[in-house]
Each structure stands twice: as structure tokens, then as C-alpha cells.
Amino acid sequence: MGPVSYESQDIRTKRIPFGEYLFKKLVQSGSKSIFGVPGDYNLPLLEHLYDDSVKDIGCRWIACCNELNAAYAADGYSRYTNKLATLITTYGVGELSAINGVAGSSAENVKVLHIVGVVKSDAPECNYHHLIPQLQHSNFIGPNRKICYDMVKDRVACSAEYLEDIETAPEKVDKVITEIYKHSKPGYLFVPADFADKLVDTTCLNNEINLCNSIERTPSEKLDSIVDGVLQWIYQSQTPAILADGNVDRFGLISQLNQFIERTQMVNFTTIMGKSIIDETNPRYQGLYAGKSCTDLVRSKFLSCDLILHFGVEKNEVNYCAQGFPYGPQAKVIEFHQSYIRLFDTLNGDEQLFENVNFVDVLTALHQRIDISKLNLQYDKAIFTTYEPSQLNLPEEDTSDVTQIYLQKKFPEILAPGDILVSDTGSFQFGVRDYKLPTQSKFMAQSTWLSIGMGLPAALGVGIGMQDYPRIHICDQSKVPAGYKPKLVLGVGDGAAQMTVQELTTMLRYHVDINVFVWNNNGYTIERAIMGENSDYNDIMPWRWTKLFEAFGDFDGKYSNSSLVKTRQELDQKIEDINKGGKGIELVEVKLGVMDYPAQLQMMLSNMKNAKK
């Protein structure tokens, strides 16, 4: 073919409305479903959802009841798909309602794009509705239409653009999406209401943005020298251990890490944030390590290892920092992070730090270069037995009531290979730490942002993600029967559920199949565990949870089934029924004791208290 003529280039770069462009770009970048709430500043944009070319690529709107819930749902969508999730709100009122959800995505490295419809680009200065007054020394100094942009930039957003020039708008969109994937943190786009219908160049649609092409690559020379150092330590080690942390998931390395485990046969642990990244049915899985806040058995195993390969490290108070995160006295440690690789020797304090390196490249190179025959693994098989929850030695209880101890024993039975468990922030999530999850299953909860109420809307987002990308979380499809449609299970405390309860109706609306377990312990048990056991600020109103779906739109119980569980026998039966195949939505209210919470929570709280002294 000869050189491209100007004419054909003109055809290739035909101009389309920015709204149409944006939705095409979003779908191309992973967001088939868009979460949000309409508002006057975003309506012209939302109208482009009905463009044939947008409908044709399967783009759909998920109308949430409010913006915070929409933000949580978007967060859940991205946690499940590991792709870009998109949230659309309106200026001020909508964007600020959502900000706590987006801040959680920032703290927990979730890829959420928050698009905010703002005032028309050519509108004169005015104190517009939905606009916060800009103050200086307490006095109003005139309208600042970028006031929310100023608030989120470098705080909850790793990238933020307030669009001002329609010609460069497509590039700005690409920039923000690329940075979201690169940093695995939220980004913001502020889109003036008049931009939706303005024509833009479509050239940028030729560049698909995804995780792979967004990460900054490590120069090969630097990479070689790092891998040399890592391999040297691995070959010297007799008891190396792999520690899987949250960012392994965020940077798309679950499959690769599990393959690395299988090839090397190294023993392996998970962190709190890394829970479910490792296939826990692998015979060398040793449990969840959380410094001082895990079982003695897991800790003693971890401390006996002479090399820790910590992949996807995330250092926050809960996962790592304030509670103390000890290593064995002679251990070497390698931290594999998305922006650095750090080798340090706890014995002599030697340290090598390689900055501006992404562990994605390093793990890939490690895979390619490792010589299995040079491994020198000498694990004591009496110590490194296969992980079984029975090692927890949970006490027998003389009661027919459902307790957290009973839940820890029984509840894992609801999960089959490939299933998804979401937990809201609360006491329940602590027991899950020591579950042995089935292969290919996925667990989702917040580990450091810990916003109460996030679970229910996040599970909605997960359910939508499961509709858009069925089984995408399964790395090894051969391990889940071909015809099996993975189950979505949510555990949520009653206090948390009251915060965001209306999103149950959205589950109905979009036919999200889900099993919702409401832990009815009469208030904020997680707070009572900290302080105020009998203080009425920790009480909530008692609800008749089983009546909710009738009010919320399933008038004749066609799509949902609600039940109350008070005894172990009833719980067993419920789990059995659900495993046989329940209705689309099963809501199960489970009565628990007011001060019944898992030992894992008690342990963490004691350690945090001691750490802060």
C-alpha cells in the first residue's frame, strides 16, 4: 500500500460528539457498566448513553440510589474485574457525596474514574447552584468553579483534569485513564455540560488503554541487575517464603504469582490485604501472616523462614505498619512494590533500594530466568504442614445459637471453587482471615480505609462486574466446572447495612444474583469491641430485615427470598439450600450476640493499642 493520503486520514479521524467518544473510550478501557446518579450538569453527557454506537458496544448505565453508594459500587466493580470502573456524578452535591467512596479507592489502590458534570465552559462567572463558596480568611472571595478539583487533586485523585479545551479533551481523558492504570488509584475528569455534544477527533480511540500498556517499564539493564540480586538470595535460601500482598491483584499478577509458587514449590503466606490472591488449596499454603495479629502457629512458621519474598507490598497500619511486622532474626526480605524493589537483611541491616521500578517486570523476568535446579529448599515438613483451619483449635461451644466461632467453622462451606465473598467493614471480616478458601475464589473487603457501609453497594458492583465479565477472576478455568456460574456472597453487619441499605433495590433492578447475610448483632459490635460496650451511641434501631425486599420492589417475592436464622441448625439448612441453588437474591438475617466478635479482631485491637503506647 502506498502512503496514506490526506483524504483517507480525514476519514480515519472523523469527528464525533465528545459524549459518544467518552463512552466508547470507557468501554474500551474496561467500564462496560457506568455507575452514578443523574444531575443537571451531567444530563447532556448521559444522553449519549443512547447513541447507537454506544449501545452497540454494550455500554449500560447502573442507576444507584445515591452517589456514595455508586462510588462503592464502582469500587467493587474494579476490585472484581481489575479494570477501570467509572462513576458519573454532578457538580458539588453529587461529587462530594461520592468522595468518601473514591477516597477508599485511593487508600486501597482501586481503579475508579470519577467523572463530574460541571458548568458549561462558556458560562460567565456566577455563584452557580451546587458550587461551594470559595473563602479566604473566612470571607467569600468570589466563585471558583474549580474548587472541587482543587480539593481532590493529589488527595483522592492520582490524576485529575478539569476539561477546558474541547480539542485536547480526548487526550486528557486518555491521560487520566492511563494514570489510573499506572498507579492503580482513582482519577477525576471534570466535564463541562456543553462538551458532551461538541465534536472531537477520534484518533485516540485507536489506542486501547489497559493495565499492561500503562505501567512504566523498567529498563532492561536495571531489571537484569535487580533480578540477579533477587536470584542470588533465592538460591542461597533454604527456607524461602512467598508473601502475597494486595497489590499483586491490583497489578494483574495473581496468575503469574500462583504459577511461580507452583514452579518453585516455595511455602507461601498471604497478608490481610492479600487474602485470596494465593490459591489456598496449594499444599504449601501456610495461612495469613499479620505480624503480631495472626495465630501463633502461622507466625512461628513465618519467623522460621530465612527469606521473605513480599510481593505487592502495602504498608499501612492494619496490613503492616503500626501493629509490628516482625521477620525471623536472620531473615532476608525482598519487597516487590509497584514503584520500588527493596532488598534488606535483618541480620546486618544491609539494604539495597531500587526506585522507579515496577515489580510487574521483575516478577516476569524472575519467572523467565529462575533455574529451578539451583533452588536449595530444605523445609522441615513437620513444621510446614498443609494449612488447615482445624489448626486454629476453635473451642467447642455448648449452645445452639449461631456464634462467630460457629460461623468460622461452618460458613466456608457456602463457598465453592470460583465463588466470591464480599465483607463489609465489621467484625465478620476478621474471621475470614483464617478461612481456607476454595481454589479460584475471591475475597473482597477493605483493609485500611475500613468504611462501614461499603460492603452492600460494593457487592452490587461486583455483581454487575460478574454480569459484564463472567468468571474473569478465575485464573485457572479448568479448576471450576465449565457450566458453573460462580456465587456471590455478601456478609454485612446490621449497623453497616443500615448505612447503605437502599442499594438492595438496585440489585433487584439489575437482577444481580446474590446471597446477602445480615449479621444482626444489634448495633456496631466492632465499635463496642473498642469502646462503649453499653453506650447507646453504639445501638441502632432493630429492623425487620426480611420485610425489606417487599418494600424495595419485589412485591410478590418473585426474585428474592428473605429468611431469618436464629440457630445453627437453621444456618446449616440455609447454607445447604443456597448451595443447591436459591432464588436470584437470598437475604438471610442471622442473629448473633451483641458482644460476640472474632478473636482475630480482639488480637488486632490489643496489638494496635500496644503499638501506640
**Interface residue with a second copy, options 6, 221, 373, 555 (CB under 8 A):** 555
**Interface residue with a second copy, options 16, 93, 377, 416 (CB under 8 A):** 93
Does residue 250 interact with a second copy by CB under 8 A? no
Q: Is 494 annotated as a binding residue?
A: yes
- The residues near 171 (Cβ < 8 Å, ≥ 6 apart) are 204
Q: How far is the CB of 204 from a second copy (least distance, A)?
A: 20
Let me know: does 73 contact 100? Beta carbons within 8 Å. Answer: no
Does residue 550 interact with a second copy by CB under 8 A? yes
Does residue 275 interact with a second copy by CB under 8 A? no
Q: Chain centroid to CA 451: how far?
A: 13
Question: Three-class SS string for 526-561?
Answer: HHHHHCCCCCHHHCCCCCCHHHHHHHCCCCCCCCEE
Cα angle 188, 194, 195; round to 5: 55
Does residue 271 interact with a second copy by CB under 8 A? no
Q: Is 345 annotated as a binding residue?
A: no
Cα angle 22, 25, 30; round to 5: 125
Helices (H), ranges, 156-295:
169-183, 211-214, 220-236, 247-250, 254-264
Q: Smaller CB distance to a second copy: residue 453 or 582?
A: 453
Specify the stretch interacting with a second copy by CB under 8 A; choose among 9-17, 59-67, 249-257, 375-383: 59-67
Q: Chain centroid to CA 514: how far?
A: 18
Specify the stretch interacting with a second copy by CB under 8 A; choose among 5-13, 66-74, 243-251, 303-311: 66-74
Does residue 612 interact with a second copy by CB under 8 A? yes
- Beta bridge mates, 90: 117
Specify the stretch interacting with a second copy by CB under 8 A; choose among 289-297, 382-390, 522-530, 583-591: 522-530
Compute the distance between CA of residue 215 and CA of residue 253 in angstroms, rounded to an integer.
13
199 Rama class: left (phi>0) / alpha (psi -120 to 50) / beta: beta
Does residue 92 interact with a second copy by CB under 8 A? yes
Specify the stretch interacting with a second copy by CB under 8 A; choose among 360-368, 393-401, 461-469, 495-503: 495-503
Number of Cβ atoms within 10 Å of the Cβ of 315: 13
Question: Three-class SS string for 470-495?
Answer: CCCCCCCHHHCCCCCCCCEEEEEEHH
Q: Is 181 annotated as a binding residue?
A: yes
Q: How far is the CB of 34 from a second copy (least distance, A)?
A: 10
Span between the terminal Cα atoms of the chain, in Å: 74
Look up residue 425 and give its amino acid. Answer: T
> Binding residues for a second copy, how many (CB under 8 A)?
101
Q: How far is the CB of 124 from a second copy (least distance, A)?
A: 8
Does residue 559 interact with a second copy by CB under 8 A? no
Compute the distance between CA of residue 74 and CA of residue 188 in angstroms, rounded to an integer.
13
- Say which DSSP state 153 is in: B
Region 126-145 residues binding a second copy, contact defined as CB under 8 A: 126-139
* Locus of grid cell 505487592: 312
**Interface residue with a second copy, options 14, 155, 369, 558 (CB under 8 A):** 155
**Interface residue with a second copy, options 8, 9, 43, 262 (CB under 8 A):** 43
**Interface residue with a second copy, options 84, 464, 499, 585 (CB under 8 A):** 499
Q: Smaller CB distance to a second copy: residue 252 or 532?
A: 532
Does residue 610 interact with a second copy by CB under 8 A? no
- The residues near 540 (Cβ < 8 Å, ≥ 6 apart) are 494, 495, 498, 522, 523, 524
Q: Smaller CB distance to a second copy: residue 6 or 537?
A: 537
Binding mask 97-116 for a second copy (x = CB under 8 A): x-xx--xx-xx---------
Q: Is 523 annotated as a binding residue?
A: yes
Please return the burial class of 442, using the count of CB atoms within 10 Å of its CB with bins 0-12, 13-18 and 19+: buried
Q: Smaller CB distance to a second copy: residue 39 or 328?
A: 39
Specify the stretch interacting with a second copy by CB under 8 A; choose among 79-87, 237-245, 262-270, 310-318: 310-318
Number of Cβ atoms within 10 Å of the Cβ of 138: 5
Does residue 418 interact with a second copy by CB under 8 A? no
**Interface residue with a second copy, options 84, 96, 242, 333 (CB under 8 A):** 96
Coil/strand/helix, residue 220: helix
Q: How far is the CB of 551 from a second copy (least distance, A)?
A: 4
**Interface residue with a second copy, options 66, 121, 168, 282 (CB under 8 A):** 66
Coil/strand/helix, residue 461: helix
Does residue 594 interact with a second copy by CB under 8 A? no
Q: Is 521 annotated as a binding residue?
A: yes
Q: Smaller CB distance to a second copy: residue 92 or 417?
A: 92
Compute the distance between CA of residue 379 and CA of residue 237 in angstroms, rounded to an integer.
10
Q: Which residues are annotated as a binding site?
A: 40, 130, 181, 494, 521, 523, 527
Q: Which residues are annotated as a binding site for Mg(2+)?
A: 494, 521, 523
Q: Which residues are annotated as a binding site for pyruvate?
A: 40, 130, 181, 527
